[in-house]
Amino acid sequence: MKHTDLYINGAWVPGADGARFDVLNPATEEVITSVASAGIADAKAALDAAEAAFGDWAARTPRARSEVLRKAWELMTARLPEFADLITLENGKARADAMGEAAYAAEFFRWFAEEAVRADGMITHAPASGARIIVQHKPAGIAVLVTPWNYPAAMGTRKIAPALAAGCPVIIKPAAETPLTMLALMPLLEEAGVPKGMVNVLPTASPAALVDHMLHDPRVRVLSFTGSTSVGRKLLHASADQVLKPAMELGGNAPLIVFEDADVDAAVEGAMLAKMRNLGEACTAANRIYVHADVAEAFTAKFTAAMAALKMGNGAQDGIDVGPLVNASTRDKVAAFVEDAVAKGAKVELGGKAPEGKGYFYPPTVLTNVAETSDCVHDEIFGPVAAIQTFTDQEDVIARANATEYGLVAYVFTEDMKRGMQVCERLEYGMVGLNRGLVSDPAAPFGGVKQSGLGREGGHEGMMEFTETQYISASW
Ligand code: NAD
């Protein structure tokens, strides 16, 4: 499955200037392979291909588009283990996490195969003029997709599937750490019947210039970005020049609140999922764990035991729960968060020190007594470090949970559903897990408020990000 060239207009090309960059295995620090690095000439070729493919695909019936997407789901589902191997190889995550990601990624094709036929419009009488108001949704045009390394398959399919469902061609720029998975998907899309030029993949070692060029090409109409808030802000500025339609999935700082009336075992299980899925390298990862003082001791003991039971190692090996982080800078950032928290009074209950040797490993770590001023309370940890704080007052914990510029996801654990719903509604987050540590679902609108993003992926909303609404005022 190792394709290493650019994928433009249905063909593998080495790139106009022949530049390449290395992709590493984070578990061994060895070079897996080198990949072609796209430049401006390649972006132009991809834009030409997308432009040429657009009209025919957009003119196909929704059912015809739907059937291609359905086939893509079938083909990907038949090859989940191969995708999982590749994801683990370039990202490092444990194989169970990679299998979970591959299945989740494939589901977007099935979900949007079903949504492709549901771009509902509307017709109604204008109240005063007597005209008819006809509303329809049309494909918005060429979409530029920029994705992060933490979910090399799913962050791509979550954009490609709705774009194709809506009728839009795409140019996807995967993260330089993990380009292989997206390249490996292309033969399957071809086999499913995606016409050449509809999906183009441009890995690059120079993302800023490449993406900026595309965002200033008048043929591009949509920017769909998943990544950090800092890069998202820059791309929002750049998309303003052409007034592009932006869909931004940015960073998070998820609070996880365990009330005194929670089922502690269920809360531990939910917290493990919310913290350790993808070894904490997730925008949805529980970044701040607030536990009511009455259950803090019981929760911390059980949670620490569950963290201690996780086995760290090369994610490709059997029985491994925690693979390496994606690269040295991510590992060093996680280590710095722990050092800062400890310097400000945190107690290390478990872990807290990167092992010697090859691979970007950091062990499952539990910190208690974390000061509100610690860096890990304000910034994304993006690693296997659980920062536990306590609270006694509901109003106080809601205020602390909301005291961030982020607003992606929050988690609440309580056995009192009335209280749970009241707290959920007070939380300034695009998504809330109530007695659940996992919210991601292709059928649900995923996305954040405040500086966690604009727009939604998945659900019905996901396809609408790639459409424009047209209103026709008619008389007959
Ligand atoms: P990143 O912002 O560094 O990179 C994301 C993508 O943008 C990569 O493809 C990268 O090559 C590209 N990029 C970087 N600088 C660029 C520039 N100047 N111009 C154009 N493109 C540029 O993020 P990352 O480190 O790859 O991923 C981690 C971040 O992604 C975290 O903040 C995480 O919360 C966020 N994330 C969010 C979601 C979500 O759905 N909200 C999902 C996954 C990850």
- What tens digit of pLDDT does each residue of 103-126 get? 999 999 999 999 999 989 999 999
Average pLDDT of span 59-79: 98
| b/e burial code for range 102-127 (CB count within 10 A of at least 16 → b) | bbbbbbbbbbbbbbbeebeeeeeeee
- Name 297's Cβ contacts closer than 8 Å, sequence gap at least 6: none
pLDDT at 229 over 80: yes
Q: Please provide the size of the chain in residues.
A: 476
- What tens digit of pLDDT does each residue of 410-452 get? 999 999 999 999 999 999 999 999 999 999 999 999 999 999 9
Kindly indicate the confidence band of residue 258, based on its pLDDT and cuts at 50, 70 and 90: very high
**In 14-148, which residue ranges form alpha helices assigned H by DSSP?**
40-59, 62-77, 80-91, 95-115
Contact, 337 vs 382, CB < 8 A?
no
Sign of CA dihedral 398, 403, 407, 408: negative
Average pLDDT of span 258-285: 98
Ligand 1 atom with the shortest distance to the CA of 251: 34
Residue 13 C-alpha from the chain's centroid:
28
pLDDT at 1 over 70: no
234 Cβ inside 6 Å of ligand 1: yes
For residue 431, give Cα distances in angstroms to 138, 231, 253, 412. Answer: 28, 22, 12, 11
Cα of 229 from ligand 1 centre, angstroms: 8
Contact, 204 vs 38, CB < 8 A?
yes
408 Cβ inside 6 Å of ligand 1: yes
pLDDT at 314 over 90: yes
- Name 390's Cβ contacts closer than 8 Å, sequence gap at least 6: 290, 291, 292, 293, 296
Residue type at 428?
A: E
Cα of 48 from ligand 1 centre, angstroms: 26
Ligand 1 atom with the shortest distance to the CA of 211: 20
Average pLDDT of span 3-28: 98
pLDDT at 5 over 80: yes
Structural element, H or E, at residue 291 = strand 286-292
283 tagged catalytic:
yes
214 Cβ inside 6 Å of ligand 1: no
pLDDT at 361 over 90: yes
Cα of 283 from ligand 1 centre, angstroms: 10
Distance CA 228, CA 248 (A): 10
238 Cβ inside 6 Å of ligand 1: no
pLDDT at 70 over 90: yes
Contact, 287 vs 254, CB < 8 A?
yes
List the one residue out of 12, 11, 20 whose CA is nearest residue 39.
20
pLDDT at 248 over 80: yes
198 Cβ inside 6 Å of ligand 1: no
pTM here is: 0.98
Which tokens go with 12? 């593998």
Which tokens go with 372? 């509100």
Average pLDDT of span 59-85: 98
281 tagged catalytic:
no
- What tens digit of pLDDT does each residue of 163-195 get? 999 999 999 999 999 999 999 999 999 999 999
pLDDT at 156 over 70: yes
Mean pLDDT estimate for the chain: 98
| Residue 322 DSSP code | B
Contact, 187 vs 106, CB < 8 A?
no
Average pLDDT of span 133-162: 98
Residue type at 353?
A: K
Tell me what pLDDT residue 391 has.
Answer: 98
- Directed axis angle between helix 264-276 and helix 293-308, to 10°? 50
pLDDT at 217 over 90: yes
Kindly indicate the confidence band of residue 2, based on its pLDDT and cuts at 50, 70 and 90: confident
Q: Bridge partners of 12? A: 7
Residue with tokens 């292309």: 186
